[in-house]
Homo-oligomer: A and B are copies of this chain.
Amino acid sequence: MQIEPVAYYRGPFGSKFGIPRQSGLSTSLQGRIVFEPEYRRPEALRGLEGFDRIWILWGFSANRQGEWHPTVRPPRLGGNTAVGVWATRSPYRPNPVGLSCVPIGQIDWERTEIHVLGADLMDGTPVYDIKPYLAYADSYPEAREGFAGGAPEAVLEVVIPTEIPLETEERAALAEVLSLDPRPAYQDDPDRIYGMPFAGKEVHFKIKDNVLTVLAYD
């Protein structure tokens, strides 16, 4: 089956680095779903205002897809343990379609855009489908979740000096996202300076003794 993007996600993350591993881990993160001209029809959103949340079906566009591998090594397990691809949300899968549940911030009827919060998506991610979240069919709070074992929590203290030029909302979103520890699981080098594109500029930071300090944003 051939599927085509109906929209693109617009948000502050310019690369994969730093994006939370699932949606909902950061609630101050703001983004927009911008429809392609053919699908920019306000009536196609009619009724969505009654729902709190949507599903986004999107493409893992930032991952080069190669041959299929039956097992993957999830970062949650330290990158050392192989589990079956169907038991993970890994981007390296036969059909690279991602699934994210996000709250609707607001609907911009004039521009026909959906503002969403906390999406684990890179700027420019293609969106293939949007569905309303139906609690009666989609919500199972007691479902066992194997090795995934609950939401990743904030593990770092984040220091963003006041002289770093960030808007209030961007500052909050960045602090929240960085507190989840964007480093690959095996890295712990206090001298290393990390760079991460965020909201059009580059954030530079260091991590030492569980304190992440933002050094520059330019």
Copies of this chain held together in the complex: 2
Q: Is the CB of A94 within 8 A of B4?
A: yes
Contacts of A135 in B (CB 8 A): 140-143, 145
Contacts of A144 in B (CB 8 A): 50-52
Cα distance, A178 to B217, chains bound together (Å) = 61
Pick the residue among B50, B129, B142 that contacts A93 (CB under 8 A). B129
A117 interface residue (CB < 8 Å to B): no
Cα distance, A146 to B49, chains bound together (Å) = 7
Q: Is the interface of A mostly helix, strand, loop or mixed?
A: mixed
Chain A 160-195 residues near chain B, CB threshold 8 A: none
Contacts of A4 in B (CB 8 A): 1, 94-95
Interface residues on A, range: 35 or more
Selected interface stretch from A10-18, A80-88, A205-213: A80-88
A59 interface residue (CB < 8 Å to B): yes
Pick the residue among B55, B129, B132, B145 that contacts A94 (CB under 8 A). B129
The 10 A-B pairs with the shortest beta carbon distances in the complex, nearest first, are: A50-B146, A47-B87, A47-B83, A44-B70, A136-B151, A46-B84, A22-B137, A48-B87, A3-B95, A41-B70
Q: A39-B68, A48-B86, A52-B142 are in contact. List 6 more A-B contacts (CB 8 A).
A: A3-B97, A51-B145, A53-B140, A99-B131, A101-B138, A133-B140
